[in-house]
Amino acid sequence: MSSHRARLLNKVNLTDEIAEFRFQVLDGPLEGLEPGAHVDIGLAPGMVRQYSLCTWDSEGRWFNIAVKQEPDGRGGSTAMHGLAIGDEVELGGPRNHFALAETSKHITLITGGIGVTPILPMVRELQCRGADFRVFYVVRSRELAAMDSQFREMSLGDHYHLHCSDSDGRFDIAAVIQTVPVGGDVYVCGPEPMLEEVLNAGSDLRGGAIHFERFAAAATFATEENDSFEIELQSSGKVLEVGPQESILDVLRAHDVPVEFGCYEGLCGSCMVDVVAGEVDHRDGVLSPAEQEANEFLCVCVSRARSRRLVLQL
């Protein structure tokens, strides 16, 4: 996966669970560092994880990410927190599926938990642009607000709202969405219930769009039974069968069809392939509902078919 290597330069604990890691790019510079982008970090053989960029230098020589330790997770955060200063990792990307639009008239950013990591550089960028924006940072209690001090250092004034549920009560997402001006966009990154609530309130938006990034694949598919289907590779006309227990990506790799991939769970967007024909059963967390409906591309690591055959631009 790697196009670069990086060395851990520094680690700072922001809360009991969240630490910020600074990596030096060893064979840089790293290009494409921008708000909303993430990098792939190879922590061990077969263990590649995606992390949103928080901070970086303009030369692309170093960058910071923040990672929450999740003892019950799949091991990535434990491996990251286990790194020692000077340890080296493989680096892929960056990629950006959560980029700030240039044209928005007004931007509302809503974030919570470790979802704050891509929102921080977005806010920096919006402040530099002199944009009309406001950010709502929702946490259970103040000591969990890992990035609060970094927001406050920016002197954001009324643009910044820290909401602590233990003292401020429940954060009313629908009420916030109703105050978005005509044509205003919403950016959200946080726990899945927060994301779902924003998406559900989206019909109250007047002309703007919701942009989001997920940290976990939509869980509703986990127990669904899968049918087999066919994929046809447009370039060769070759037809391959995808069984109930395998992904399109599994089948492509088994047949040595070159295709990029990263997370293997529909979150990073690196395995996106154009759809020529057929109806996709989208199961990723990257594409917006409108993009999924357009049926123009799919993430081959998780998505399946509603039609008997999908023709892919491969």
Q: Which H helix or E strand runs over 313?
A: none
Residue 24 burial (10 A CB sphere; 0-12, 13-18, 19+): middle
Site for ligand FES, rule CB under 6 A:
261-264, 266-271, 284, 286, 299, 301
**Beta strand 38-44 pairing with 272-277:** unpaired
Report, in Å, the least distance between residue 68 CB and ligand FES. 20
- Between 109 and 301, CB nearer to ligand FES: 301
Distance of CA 221 to the CA centre of its chain: 19
Report, in Å, the least distance between residue 187 CB and ligand FES. 20
Alpha-carbon distance of 47 to 226, in angstroms, equals 26
Report, in Å, the least distance between residue 209 CB and ligand FES. 21
- Between 50 and 104, CB nearer to ligand FES: 50
Report, in Å, the least distance between residue 29 CB and ligand FES. 25
| Closest to 194 measured CA to CA, from 309, 88, 251, 115 | 115
Alpha helices in the chain (DSSP H): 76-81, 116-129, 148-153, 165-168, 173-178, 192-201, 248-254, 289-294
- Between 94 and 266, CB nearer to ligand FES: 266
- Tell me the backbone φ, ψ of residue 291, rounded to 5 degrees: -65, -40
- Between 232 and 250, CB nearer to ligand FES: 250
- Between 137 and 264, CB nearer to ligand FES: 264
Report, in Å, the least distance between residue 246 CB and ligand FES. 14
